[in-house]
Amino acid sequence: MKILSIQSAVAYGHVGNSAAVFPLQRIGVEVLPVYTVNFSNHTGYGAWRGPMISPDDVREVLLGIEDRGVLPQIDVVLSGYQGGEGIADVILEAVERVKAANPTAVYSCDPVMGNAKSGCFVAPAIPVLLRDRVVPAADIITPNQFELGFLTGTEPDTLESTLASVKLVRATGPRTVLVTSVERPDREDGTIEMLAVDDSGAWLVQTPYIPMKANGSGDVTAALFTAHYRSTGDLAEALARTTSSVFDLLTRTHESGERELQLVESQDAYANPKMQFKPQRVS
C-alpha cells in the first residue's frame, strides 16, 4: 500500500506527518510525505520557528511526484491540519489527479478544527472550507465529536444523536466516518469511546480515559485507521487495531511523564497490536 500524506512536519515532537509516517511504516505502508509547514515544534508550545510552505510550493512537490509516474500506485491520499486556505485547493487537486490515475484510490480527511475543551484553534475560514468543500470530496473522515458537530450544525452527545450527526455528514459525501473522543453522558465513568460507521453498519469501542493532552494522537489515529480500513475493508477490525495501538501509545506516553508522544518507543504497538478492546456493533 502507498499513502500520499499531505500534512505539517516538525523537527521536535510528533504531529502531522511527524506523527503519522512512522506508525504507517511500521505496519508496512509506503508513505510519500508532503509537507505543508516545516516548523521546529508544534504550535502548542506558543513559540516556534520555521516556514509555512506556500500552496504553490506544495503543488510543485506534488507535480514532481506525478512526474515520476507514481500516481497510479497511490492507494490513499491522507490530509490533516490545514494551516491556510490555499492548501485545500492543492489537496483537492492532488486527490483529483490521483483518482484519475487510480480510480480505486480513496481520500481520507482528518478535518482538524479544534476540540470540546479548547474550541476552534484554526483560522475562522478553515472550518467553513472543510465543511463546504473538503469533507464532501472525502471518502473517509475522522472528526472528533466536536468537529462532527460543526460539520453538521448539530450538538452530538448521546450515542443516538452522534449516530444521527454521522448520518447527516455521510449524506454530504464521505461514506466512512470515524468519530474520536466520543463522550456520551451515560458511558461508564473514566472511559472514552470511538465510533466508526460505513455502509455495513456502526461500531463503538470503549477504552479507559487517559488524563493527558497528547498533541499528535489524532494524527496517529487517522493514519492507522485509514491504513487498516483500506487494507482489510473490515470496519470493526480497523477500529480494533487502531484503538489498541493508540491506547498503548498514550499509556506509554503518560507513564513516561513526557509532553511529546513516545512514538518510536511504542512501535511494537503498531506492528503487533494487542487487540485488547473489542468493538460492539450499535447499528
The per-residue pLDDT for range 84-99, each reduced to its tens digit, is 789 999 999 999 999 9
Mean pLDDT value across the chain: 95
pLDDT given for residue 4 in this prediction:
98
Provide the pLDDT for residue 85: 82
Mapping DSSP onto H, E and C, the string for the chain reads CEEEEEEEEECCCCCCHHHHHHHHHHCCCEEEEEEEEEECCCHHHCCCCCCECCHHHHHHHHHHHHHCCCHHHCCEEEECCCCCHHHHHHHHHHHHHHHHHCCCCEEEECCCCEECCCEECCCCHHHHHHHHHHHHHCCEECCEHHHHHHHHCCCCCCHHHHHHHHHHHHCCCCCEEEEEEECCCCCCCCEEEEEEEECCEEEEEEEECCCCCCCCHHHHHHHHHHHHHHHHCCHHHHHHHHHHHHHHHHHHHHHHCCCCCCCCCCHHHHHCCCCCCCCEECC
Mean pLDDT of 149-172: 96
pLDDT over 90 (residue 81): no
Residue 121, pLDDT above cutoff 70: no
The proportion of the chain whose per-residue pLDDT surpasses 90, expressed as a percent, equals: 90
Residue with the bigger pLDDT between 115 and 149: it is: 149
270 pLDDT above the threshold of 80: yes
pLDDT of the residue at 28: 98
Domains of the chain, earliest start first: 2-281 (3.40.1190.20)
Residue 82: pLDDT band by 50, 70, 90 thresholds? confident
Q: Percent of the chain at pLDDT above 70?
A: 98
pLDDT tens for 6-52 read 999 999 999 999 999 999 999 999 999 999 999 999 988 999 999 99
- Residue 34 sits at the vertex; the CA angle it makes with 30 and 37, to the nearest 5 degrees, is 140
- Is residue 117 scored above 80 in pLDDT? no
> In the prediction, which pLDDT does 96 show?
98
Distance of alpha carbon 39 from the chain centroid = 20
CA distance 174 to 73: 22
pLDDT of residue 18: 98
Taking a C-beta distance cutoff of 8 angstroms, is the pair 148, 156 a contact?
A: yes
Per-residue pLDDT band for 122 (boundaries 50, 70, 90) equals confident
Is residue 11 within 8 A of residue 41, CB to CB? The reply is yes
The confidence band for 123, taking pLDDT boundaries of 50, 70 and 90, is confident
CA-to-CA separations, 152 to 39, 56, 191, 195, 222, in angstroms, rounded: 32, 31, 25, 16, 20
Reported as a single tens digit per residue, the pLDDT across 211-243 is 998 999 999 999 999 999 999 999 999 999 999
Work out the average pLDDT over 128-147.
Answer: 96
